[in-house]
Amino acid sequence: MSGKMVSITVDGASALVEAGSSLLEACAAAGAKVPTLCHLKDVSSNASCGLCVVEVEGAKSLVRACVGSVGEGMKVATSSPRVMRARRNAVELLLANHPADCLTCARSGSCELQDAALTLGIRQVRFPRTRAAPKLDVSTDGLVRDNDKCILCGRCVAVCSEIQGVSAISLAGRGIRTRVATFMDRGLAASPCVQCGQCSVVCPTGAITERDDTEELWRELAKPGGTVVVQTAPAIRASLGEALGMEPGSLVTGKMVAALRRIGFDKVFDTQFTADLTIMEEGSELIQRLTKGGKLPMITSCSPGWINFIEYFYPSLLPHLSTCKSPQQMFGALAKTYYAEKAGLDPAAMRLASIMPCTAKKHEAKRPEMRGAWEYWSAKAGASPDTAAYYDVDWALTTRELARMITRAGIDIARLPEEEFDDPLGASTGAATIFGTTGGVMEAALRTVYEIVTGSPLPTLDFEAVRGLVGIKSAEVDLAGTKVRVAVAHTLKNARVLLDEIAAGTSPYHFIEVMTCPGGCVGGGGQPVRVDQAKRLARNAAMYAEDRRLGLRRSHENPSVKALYAEFLGEPLGHLSHELLHTTYARRTD
């Protein structure tokens, strides 16, 4: 925009707004809230829903505010009788083909179509249904598509293509046959969908949601005799409160622990424990590649949507990936080996739930590579347990699923006392906390790698160059005379830029962090819906506040991780570490 201001009138009141603004932005600046469905800032504005119409003096037709621009002296009416009739008609037409299952829909209470109907006072639908109900797409582990609830807003298509650069879905057909579809309508599992879940975050209705695993978990929690433990990812503590009605960025770490105990989990652990462990393994791997030779740049492997992406689109670059499993999967392997032995538990009777900000974690938990504990016990016992039932992680739930469980249990999280995670898998450092935001894995790794290589403490623990929500960030670090260039990318479209450089042989970097989602895990596909940049920034700030609050801020200082190596693993990159904590990936052909 130019910065030049123009004078307009909105609902009879004069206002100065920036030239080049959309009518939607101008009306908001003038204090008039214009409803939208297809529009979503920084994602899409395709004027398909017709809900944002306004009346502009002199114009023959109503103007769609999301794509209309302001002009000097323009007079705008946002709630005239003509405007209100058009909006009601638009919503009633959408409702005509929308199932009336609000009482059982996962998005009830957070559905934007429901909100629009309530705002406009719609109590009945005058129009008949014009299309048959399509079948559910339940082909993936992470996501469920219900095109019967789709209002053709195009947000999911836009975020998949424009933000993620994947294009697993698109608009197909014409007229009443128009639909959001995969290639040949074969379902998400037969598409290059990476299960990142960004489509479920931006969807205004329940047309795309996470696969809900809460019923199965409730049944397991009610069974006598077994042991059900839970781990919580770093980003959950900065988003769960928001999902339960608190301010965005509210830190609820201790209250979350208390809530999980009240739900019925036998032990409440922290994925940050294995985030610290990841730094020990990944940092050691980087040092080994730098000093003894290895494929560079090395790229982080914490984000499962990113792993799916490189397997689909850049399989020739897979040797650049760190061999480390994600913290979720490292935790699962250790919970059912190290912890089971330490606590005297039967690992076959243990069940582990993960609370993750990510729908792709559901897919990751079911990958055949993620049975480290089964392989450990098979070798030790000389007999193989049931491979079909024995995964390191049994369920990966989203932030949204946990919020529904807490609500169902009648727990008021804001009134709970602060409680601590259980030992020994609950200890962590501030470096582990910042795994939840873009640049956090890189910063945590540099804190440890620098001190291991140089033998000296860092002048400052805050690597500002890799922080913030810029799409690609870069920095140079001096490791005892060796200049190491690093880069950080979030969203898969930005990752493509760095991968294309590697493929072309022009990459200047030694170490790259990639996070699938906007802002990293704080903007994950399993996080609270109706997210915007301000909410991501609030969650991001909460991560750094938690980092500063914790007494230890370097992963190699975690006493429980030190004990783990002393009692069980031996050393980073040792034989048992490779067996339980590392893996390899291959070209996707499904």
Pairing state of beta strands 63-64 and 53-56? antiparallel
CB 143 within 8 Å of CB 195:
yes
pLDDT greater than 90 at residue 77: yes
Q: Among residues 361, 362, 473, 535, which one is catalytic?
A: 361
HSE-CB at 187 with a 13 A cutoff on CA atoms is 13
In whole angstroms, give the CA distance from residue 114 to residue 102. Answer: 8
Average pLDDT estimate for 50-69:
94
Q: Among residues 322, 326, 507, 555, which one is catalytic?
A: 322
Q: Among residues 105, 521, 535, 546, which one is catalytic?
A: 521
pLDDT-derived band at 116, boundaries 50, 70, 90: very high
In whole angstroms, give the CA distance from residue 166 to residue 363. Answer: 17
- Please provide the DSSP assignment of 200-224 as one string: HHH-SSSSEEEPP-HHHHHHHHHSS
Predicted pLDDT at 384: 59
pLDDT-derived band at 20, boundaries 50, 70, 90: confident
> Percent of the chain beyond pLDDT 90?
88
pLDDT-derived band at 121, boundaries 50, 70, 90: very high
- Residue 364 appears among annotated catalytic residues: yes
Q: What is the pLDDT of residues 217-245, one digit of tens each?
A: 999 999 998 899 999 999 999 999 999 99
3-state percent breakdown (helix, strand, coil) of the chain, nearest 5 = 45, 15, 45
pLDDT greater than 70 at residue 491: yes
Q: Among residues 55, 282, 401, 513, which one is catalytic?
A: 282
Q: Is 547 left (phi over 0), alpha (psi -120 to 50) or beta?
A: alpha
Q: Six-digit token pair at 167?
A: 């294009």
pLDDT greater than 70 at residue 383: no
Q: Six-digit token pair at 110?
A: 């957070």
- Residue 369 appears among annotated catalytic residues: yes
Q: What is the pLDDT of residues 343-379, one digit of tens each?
A: 999 998 999 999 999 999 999 999 999 999 999 988 8
- Residue 247 appears among annotated catalytic residues: no
The DSSP bridge partners found for residue 143 are 210
- Residue 322 appears among annotated catalytic residues: yes
Q: Among residues 281, 285, 311, 546, which one is catalytic?
A: 285
- Residue 282 appears among annotated catalytic residues: yes
Average pLDDT estimate for 445-450:
96
* Domains, the chain, ordered by start: 5-95 (3.10.20.740), 215-581 (3.40.950.10)
Has this prediction a pTM greater than 0.85?
Answer: yes
Q: Among residues 162, 220, 369, 451, which one is catalytic?
A: 369
- Residue 354 appears among annotated catalytic residues: no
Predicted pLDDT at 460: 87
Average pLDDT, the chain: 94
- Residue 203 appears among annotated catalytic residues: no
Q: Among residues 281, 364, 401, 546, which one is catalytic?
A: 364
pLDDT-derived band at 568, boundaries 50, 70, 90: very high
Pick from 151, 77, 80: nearest CA to 117: 151
Predicted pLDDT at 382: 65
Predicted pLDDT at 536: 96
Task: Report residue 422 CA to chain centroid gap.
Answer: 25
H helices of 81-237, in order, are 81-96, 112-119, 155-158, 198-202, 214-222
- Residue 476 appears among annotated catalytic residues: no
Average pLDDT estimate for 283-287:
97
Q: Among residues 49, 302, 324, 358, which one is catalytic?
A: 302
Predicted pLDDT at 386: 62
